[in-house]
Structure 1
Amino acid sequence: MKKLGKIRYIMCVLGAAMLIASSCTDNYKEWNTDPTEVPEYMLVGLMKIGNFFPAMQIDVIPTSDVDANQFQRAQNLCGDMHSGYMTPIGTWGSNSACHYNLRYDKWNDVAFKVAFTNVMPAWKQIHDNGKDEFPEAYAVAQILKVAAMHRITDIYGPLPYLQFGHGGLETPYDSQENIYKSFFEDLDEAITELQNYITVHPGSKPLSKYDLVYGGDFTKWLKFANSLKLRLAMRTCYVEGFEVNGKTSRKLAEEAVKNGVITENGENALLQSGNGISVFHPLKICWDNYEDVRMGADMESIMKGYSDPRLSKFFQESEYGEVGDKYHGARLGVDITNKTNYIKLSAPNIFAETPVLWMCAAEIYFLRAEGRLRGWSMGGETEDLYNMGITKSFEQWGVALGDYLTRGDDYTPMQFTAPSGTTGNTIAASTITIAWNAVDREEKKLERIITQKWIAMFPEGQEAWSEHRRTGYPRLFNLYGTNASSGQVENSGPRRIPFPSTEYDTNTTEVNKAVTDFLGGNDYGNVKLWWDKK
């Protein structure tokens, strides 16, 4: 099996080598064979771009770095932390990113670097060498690009994106609005191409040798593309007057649902080992080898308050507490100078072989529930979609649902009590219940939907953080300790991450222009993103 630290080099060499291979593929659309079979000459032709697909996939969420350093800095010390899922327990001092010094030790550089040195170059190779010859494969590359880059713009905001690879010494930044518009245009084109391809060649899987997510199943890629479109449409719902080619957020969301989104856990987007490539979940290294992360206090407060049986699937028992109460987390912002007691807290129940989750059916049901709450046509009623989201999450984790859907006022988030030797006691941040109540005001219904969605998306902290910023839910604890960037980041959490120092060194004019034009002159963590309008 290949080591992930070497995979990108191997793929680039293979991809470059295949550029000199020739194949008679000009008329591949005109097959006279079984439409479910892929002709040999087409498979040979795909070799020149095929290896760039796993190269993109393994860094949608940074997974390629053998020692997990990239994942830790781009994901775990970013979305995982700011979403309330997990708390870093490293002894980095009170001026670290854990205390909202968002430029600490260049932690803010990694997500940007991985996107623009790994993901985008692989996409460009597919674009330059396969867009015209293999449009159905290029459609998947477009979907992957959006899957990866919407995470990056939701971290930083404006990006040097639309003119990537143009050849200039410096690359202009684009507004997040224009970047989002390009996402919808790319997804719509990809959806149309895959729909047409599936109609003509049902069951054909030309990318089966290269796809670590769906094994080349274009019907699942089509559902993922529509689901991603729904996710992004909802992200823009608070932006007044937003349209893409005359389509509002509502219209985009309704199109996605009508065309077919993920509805079953068998369609979940999961990155996992295959085709001779080993995928190791980096979070295992973060909690085990590094001993740098444990359960967040917010997760303990909400899930223990709900007596949620998924807690034992998400996290391991701690060394604290008695039988039946062994799950304990930590507050973000505590100044940890000695890990001894914090290591005893609950670690994530994620191991090397655990697939890396991009998207699950439960998330899509909650998106549809929110859409219906707004009056949109989502293929069902709000309560039913909400309950289905919970049901699918329990199914995903192999847990019996029991009476969970009917739990009322006796089940609310609970106060957080720090175990002995740790600190951070606080009252509960919310009183939201589980059971649907049709007479509740709309905002309370939204909090209920997003709180359950937050649980169900674990451990994908980046998306959870984005949704928390967009909606304000779930209600999370404020930073406990010293705010290292007081005035630049609120105690309630950052709204974005500042641009990397490398951009100020190598793309100086354009990054400064972006700060002036799109961020009001302040490259700080308290500056709201374009879609953050609530």
Structure 2
Amino acid sequence: MKNKFIKIFCIAIVGAMTLTSCDKGFEELNTNPNALTDPAVKSMFTLAEIYVDGQDFSNTRGNNYYAAQIVQQFSSLGGPGSKYTYSSEYSGSLFGESYGKGLNQIFQLLSVVKDTPENANMIQSLRIMKVFMFQKLTDTYGEIPYFEAGKGYNGNVFSPKYDTQEAIYNDLLKELDEAGDALDANKPFVGNADLYYQSDVTKWKKLANSLMLRVAMRLSKVNPAKAKQYVEKAVAKGVFTSNDDSLVLKHDAGPQGVKTNPITSSWVRNDLNGGDGNVKFSKTYIDFLKNNNDPRLRIYAKLEATGDNSPASQQGLANDAKEFPGGDKKMFSDPNTSTVLRLDAPTLIMSYAEVKFILAEAAVKGWNVGGSAQTYYEDGVKAAMNILTIFGDKVPAVTTTEYNTYIAAHPFKTAGTEAEKIEQIITQKWVVLLFNGFEAFSEYRRTGYPAIVPVNDPTGETKGTVPRRLIYDQSELITNAANYKEAISRQGLDLMTTRIWWDKQ
């Protein structure tokens, strides 16, 4: 299996050499593809899958340093997410890389693949991948170029207009609804060029419906009727039913920067420094696991300098810290390089546990999702613990006994208020969303959970309030100025404190 993955990946990289993709803007996204006379569509498809969850550039800067530190999964003394400071390169990284690489790849492939029955499943899966990328973008920034993005391939639109988030969300739901229904197990796919599910159409359908859950629940405050409608529709169509359905992208240990995990590899290469690095687990995250005797702590964390992963030894860095208490960085917890921070650690893009937590929240709201909030919550916690086996066997997996002990000590608050129940659900989702800071940041803004204490640092941009968005890639002020100005005239100033459309108090 490993050799097969390497072969597919290498083919994808060769295919990528026919493309122009860099980390900045719409010139790349709207490049005319006429030079592609005989595109290797399967290798292009593979590369599109690799790009969906971002590369080193956006994951280091936007995910690890901004989003994940804002929601206090990680911390660093000078991290812009920890102190709510502004860095144009870091804040705009997701914007530039997404349009310059992932969406560029998807739109270019869609421009050369003929709409035939033989290509139908490929086209539908590309629509689903496109939703993944656009939702992350619009959730991070608000209004973004959407309907005109990629029109340079067939419409000569090189300065795409920004669209309202409401219009974008309406289309994201439509795309998932249509694409999921159009997937057909009786039609060809791409074989093992599909790194996600090896062309298993049933799993792709579940992915489309599970992503519909995520997209729909984001509307819970701004349009609860529509959120309910599409959550119930997704459940009726069929969502993830086990950890085997989770969207996991496998990686290899080398060559570095080509096939390694884009979230972890830069951290290991540049920031770990034998435990003497500046980026550490947040005290908020470690304390939650430690104070609740969470068996996942030994899998997630260790002191890199000594290799000690015992829960009692773990210590997180406060997000408002101006120095390391005691002066020894090596005494603070790093992500475990035997498990989650391996160079070849798989990327958990969307998990069965997340689906269960969405269903638990929907049940709390009284929506028709076919089960109780308590059962969905308990199944979600169990799935979140069990999924950690994807990170290998160097650290003992969570046992059934450990899970049962944990749930007995932290039962679902069946007699609690709706707010108390949702806080319990979202806090568990925050734990499993480790290394998916963008999604955790979105869920925090939607729900207000987990209950983190804001940082009030004099260097910050928000006057001690948790940021509500990131600032656009500033190249837009030059390359797409008129449309950028129109967007901020509708949405509000391009500041970290400006709330986006679905972010209601």
* Aligned partners of 1:223 and 1:261 also within 8 Å: yes
- Residue 273 and residue 379 in structure 1: after superposition, are their counterparts in 2 closer, same or farther (change >3 A)? same
Match of 2:372, as an amino acid? E
Q: 1:182 aligns with which of 171, 189, 197?
A: 171
The equivalent residue for 2:497 is 526
2:330 maps to 1:330: no
- Report the CA distance shift for 1:517/1:385 in structure 2 as closer, same or farther (over 3 A): same
Q: Is the 8 A contact 1:97 1:107 kept in 2?
A: no
Structure 2 CA distance, aligned partners of 1:128 and 1:230?
29
User: Which segment is superposed worse, 333-342 or 229-238?
Assistant: 333-342
Change (3 A) 1:279 1:143: farther
Which residue in 2 is equivalent to 1:400?
399
C-alpha displacement of 1:405: 5.5
Deviation at 1:343, TM superposition (A): 4.2
Higher helix share: 2
- Are residues 1:267 and 2:267 paired? no
Aligned residues: 460
Would you say the 8 A contact 2:15–2:40 is kept in 1? no
User: Does 2:381 align with 1:366?
Assistant: no
Q: CA deviation at 1:338?
A: 11
- Distance 1:125-1:286 versus aligned 2 partners, 3 A rule: same
Look up the equivalent residue of 2:413 and give its one-letter code: N
Which residue identity lines up with residue 310 of structure 1 in the other structure? R
Which residue of 2 is the match for residue 116 of structure 1? 99
Query: 1:314 and 2:300 equivalent?
Result: yes
| Contact 2:298/2:309 (<8 A) preserved | no
Contact 1:363-1:389 at 8 Å conserved across structures: yes
**Alpha-carbon shift at residue 456 of structure 1 (Å):** 2.1
| Greater Cα offset, 142-151 or 329-338 | 329-338
After TM superposition, give the deviation of residue 224 of structure 1 in Å: 0.9
Matched, 1:239 2:230: no
Q: Does the Cα contact within 8 Å between 1:366 and 1:386 map onto a contact in 2?
A: yes
Alignment of 1:53 onto 2:64: no
**In structure 2, what is the equivalent of residue 391 of structure 1?**
382
With over 3 angstroms needed to count, the CA separation of the structure-2 counterparts of 1:6 and 1:315, relative to structure 1, is farther
> In the TM superposition, what are the counterparts of 1:345-494 in structure 2 within 5 Å?
345-349=332-336, 350-397=341-388, 398-402=397-401, 404=403, 434-479=410-455, 481-485=457-461, 489-494=462-467
Call closer, same or farther: CA 1:251–1:278 in 2, change over 3 Å.
same
Q: Over alpha carbons, which structure has the higher Rg?
A: 1
Write the distance in 1 (CA, Å) between the matches of 2:201 and 2:352.
Answer: 17
Distance 1:278 1:60 in 2: 14
2:483 corresponds in structure 1 to 510
Give me the TM-score of the superposition, normalised by structure 2. 0.83
Q: Which residue does the alignment assign to 2:66?
A: 78
Q: Deviations over 1:471-515 (max 9, x none)?
A: 011111221643421xxx252421100111101111111101100
Q: CA deviation at 1:281?
A: 4.2
Distance, in Å, in 1 between the alignment partners of 2:260 and 2:14 is 16
1:162 and 2:147 aligned: yes
**1:136 shift after superposition:** 1.4
Amino acid in structure 1 at the alignment position of 2:259: S
1:227 matched residue in structure 2: 210
Q: 2:90 aligns with which of 88, 107, 115?
A: 107
Report 1:295-310 matches (<5 A): 295-310=281-296
Once the 2 structures are TM-superposed, how far is the Cα of residue 345 of structure 1 from its aligned partner?
1.4
Per the alignment, residue 235 of structure 2 pairs with: 257
The 3 A distance-change label for structure 1 pair 260 and 327 is same
Aligned-pair identity in percent equals: 26
SS of 1:358's equivalent in the other structure is strand
Determine the C-alpha separation between the residues in 2 that align with 1:324 and 1:280. Answer: 26
Q: What RMSD in Å do the two structures reach over aligned CA positions? A: 3.0
The residue type equivalent to 1:524 in the other structure is L
**Over residues 135-170 of structure 1, what are the superposed CA-to-partner deviations in whole Å (9 max), with x where a residue is unaligned?**
211000000011112111111010011101332342
Deviation for aligned residue 1:407: 5.6
Answer yes or no: is the 8 Å Cα contact 1:51–1:210 preserved in 2: yes
Closer, same or farther: CA 368–117 of 1 in aligned 2, 3 Å? same
Change (3 A) 1:231 1:84: same
Is 1:13–2:5 an aligned residue pair?
no
- Aligned residue in 2 for 1:418: none
Cα distance in 1 between the residues matched to 2:261 and 2:496: 31
1:6, 1:450 → 2: CA distance?
40
The superposition leaves residues 57-101 of structure 1 with CA deviations (integer Å, 9 ceiling, x where unpaired) of 2222222xxxx3442112111222122211135x57xxx454212
Asked whether the equivalents of residues 57 and 97 of structure 2 are also in contact (C-alpha less than 8 Å), the reply is no
- Give the counterpart letter for 1:11 in structure 2: A
CA distance in 2, matches of 1:3, 1:130: 20
2:28 — aligned with what? Answer: none
Aligned to 2:128: 143
CA distance in 1, matches of 2:224, 2:166: 12
Cα separation, partners in 2 of 1:9 and 1:88, compared to 1, 3 Å = farther
Q: Give the corresponding residue for 1:425.
A: none
The Cα shift of 1:450 comes to 0.9
Looking at structure 2, the residues matched to 511 and 209 of structure 1 have their Cα atoms a distance apart, in angstroms, of 41
Aligned partners of 1:322, 1:85: CA distance in 2, in Å? 17
Structure 1 CA distance for aligned equivalents of residues 11 and 318 of structure 2: 37
Q: What do the CA deviations read for 1:190-219 (whole angstroms, capped 9, x no partner)?
A: 11111xx12x35xx6x22232222222221
Quote the residue 2:54 is aligned against.
Answer: 62
Instruction: Classify 1:517/1:308 alpha carbon distance in 2 versus 1 (closer, same or farther; 3 Å).
Output: same
Report the CA distance shift for 1:58/1:336 in structure 2 as closer, same or farther (over 3 A): farther
Letter in 2 for 1:474: P
CA contact 1:2–1:278 (8 Å) conserved in 2: no
Q: Give, in whole Å, the separation in 2 of the partners of 1:492 and 1:173.
A: 27
